[in-house]
């Protein structure tokens, strides 16, 4: 006999007492579900509550992750992601790598970067509308190896390399102009960044002159200033993150220290937890995602060569999915795991190529396999 695990909200009466008819969190015996398979469901037990709806036909407009029992077909179903693929998008006006950018698949930005060599920084700022890139107001301080997060109307660019050295400079974009704001605590470049213009983060990076030069520091941005918080377990530079995830629920993966790493760690707002590694160790890679449980990692350099590989994170493990059309490293990533951008980079010279990642959704029958 199988079981269905449920978490039911207990009903508190106006008298302040627990309504005993609601029961408590428990496992509901389900004699109509075999332990070995979910494909022989004959009916859905009412005792399982309203957590999974019982319907005669599939919902016309389900949401991602929704599960229901179809009484007509006798099947437990879910609305989940399909395999994704990359397609060509509009090219940057200024080819570059090591830039700072973020946003969504249809509203992204890239500012600064190296045009070749990588240390030749630029202040150019471009925005993407889902079809093409348009140049707009430059940042105040040209640089390369900077980091960025936010959206096209409210973004942050911070850190980077501006000859003769690395800087802690932070600039804020309000949709029409860049304003220099409070510096980072650490002079750093090539960290993994994400969040919003009022709740962002920077994890790791390269600190010239330090021993070791690869950093494990985590700084949080509150819209006004940076605050150093709990260090990562594994120091690194050239890492990537689920850059559209909340400040308190992200994942950082890949990067380099003594060599390219496959290490991945999740952040819950107070502590770092090591999780399953990428399948391919690499650095100067791209990342996109909306949470610590949903992300994609793409491109990068293994320490030997640039790659086109893409991996998808489901909160438990990484799965190799469809590759980019063009291998590259030192690129910018934007978007979420179902709709992302890979922008610019080097292989071996600077490119302005943009590729768009799209992963559809589909109704699927849940089985034991």
Nearest to 145 by CA among 202, 84, 100: 100
Q: Are residues 102 and 172 in the same domain?
A: yes
Range of the domain at 48: 2-82
Q: Are residues 78 and 226 in the same domain?
A: no
Q: Are residues 283 and 344 in the same domain?
A: yes
Residue 42 included in any domain: yes
Binned average pLDDT, 10 residues per bin, the chain of 369 residues: 48 49 49 50 50 85 80 86 90 97 97 88 97 98 97 98 93 98 96 97 93 94 98 97 96 96 97 98 97 96 97 96 97 96 96 94 76
φ, ψ at 249 (rounded to 5°): -155, 80
Q: Are residues 161 and 295 in the same domain?
A: yes
Q: What is the pLDDT of residue 29?
A: 53
Q: Are residues 69 and 99 in the same domain?
A: no
Residue at which a domain ends, from 65, 82, 99: 82
Contact 127, 136 (CB under 8 A): yes
Contact 175, 192 (CB under 8 A): no
Q: Are residues 14 and 130 in the same domain?
A: no
Contact 291, 245 (CB under 8 A): yes
For residues 94, 100, 105 and 107, what is the CA-based torsion angle, rounded to 10 degrees? -80
Nearest to 356 by CA among 86, 22, 74: 86
Separate counts of helices (H) and strands (E) for the chain: 0, 30
Nearest to 101 by CA among 169, 205, 193, 176: 193
Q: Are residues 68 and 130 in the same domain?
A: no
Residue at which a domain ends, from 23, 58, 82: 82
Q: Which two tokens stand for residue 78?
A: 């879910």
φ, ψ at 10 (rounded to 5°): -80, 140
Sheet containing strand 178-181, edge to edge, reads: 147-151, 154-158, 170-173, 178-181
Q: Are residues 74 and 88 in the same domain?
A: no
Q: Are residues 118 and 267 in the same domain?
A: yes
Q: Are residues 154 and 259 in the same domain?
A: yes
Quick one: CA dihedral 271, 274, 278, 281, positive or negative? Answer: positive
Q: Are residues 171 and 57 in the same domain?
A: no
Q: Are residues 274 and 357 in the same domain?
A: yes
Q: Residue 214: which CATH number?
A: 2.120.10.80
Domain count of the chain? 2
Residue at which a domain ends, from 49, 82, 115: 82
List Cα–Cα distances, 176 to 94, 124, 139, 154, 208, in angstroms: 20, 14, 11, 9, 33
Residue 369 included in any domain: no
Residue 367 included in any domain: no
Contact 242, 251 (CB under 8 A): yes
Q: What is the pLDDT of residue 8?
A: 43
Q: What is the pLDDT of residue 81?
A: 67
Residue 366 included in any domain: no
Dist CA 162 CA 121 (whole Å)? 7
């Amino acid at each position: 006999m199988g079981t269905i695990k449920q978490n039911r909200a207990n009903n508190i009466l106006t008298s302040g007492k627990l309504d005993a008819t609601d029961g408590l969190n428990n496992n509901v015996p389900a004699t109509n579900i075999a332990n070995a398979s979910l494909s022989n469901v004959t009916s859905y037990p009412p005792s399982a509550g309203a957590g999974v709806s019982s319907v005669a036909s599939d919902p016309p407009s389900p949401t991602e992750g929704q599960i229901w029992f179809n009484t007509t077909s006798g099947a437990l179903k879910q609305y989940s992601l399909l395999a994704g693929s990359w397609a060509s998008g509009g090219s940057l006006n200024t080819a570059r790598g090591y830039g700072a950018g973020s946003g969504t698949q249809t509203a992204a930005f890239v500012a600064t970067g190296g045009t070749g060599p990588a240390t030749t920084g630029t202040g150019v700022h471009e925005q993407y509308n889902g079809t093409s890139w348009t140049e707009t107001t430059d940042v105040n301080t040209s640089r390369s190896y900077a980091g960025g997060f936010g959206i096209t109307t409210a973004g942050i660019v911070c850190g980077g390399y501006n000859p003769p050295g690395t800087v802690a400079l932070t600039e804020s974009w309000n949709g029409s102009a860049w304003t220099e704001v409070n510096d980072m605590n650490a002079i750093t470049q090539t960290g993994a960044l994400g969040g919003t213009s009022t709740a962002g983060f920077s994890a790791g990076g390269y600190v010239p002159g330090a021993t070791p030069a690869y950093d494990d520091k985590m700084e949080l941005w509150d819209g006004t200033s940076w605050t150093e918080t709990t260090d990562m377990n594994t120091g690194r530079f050239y890492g990537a993150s689920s850059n559209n995830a909340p400040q308190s629920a992200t994942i950082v993966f890949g990067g380099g220290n003594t060599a390219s790493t496959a290490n991945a760690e999740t952040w819950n707002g107070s502590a770092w937890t090591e999780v399953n590694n990428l399948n391919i160790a690499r650095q100067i890679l791209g990342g996109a995602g909306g949470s610590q449980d949903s992300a994609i990692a793409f491109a990068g350099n293994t320490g030997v060569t640039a790659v086109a590989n893409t991996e998808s994170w489901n909160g438990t493990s990484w799965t190799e999915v469809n590759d980019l059309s063009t291998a590259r490293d030192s690129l910018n990533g934007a978007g979420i795991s179902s709709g992302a951008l890979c922008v610019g980079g080097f292989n071996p010279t600077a490119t302005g190529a943009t590729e768009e990642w799209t992963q559809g959704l589909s109704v699927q029958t849940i089985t034991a396999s």
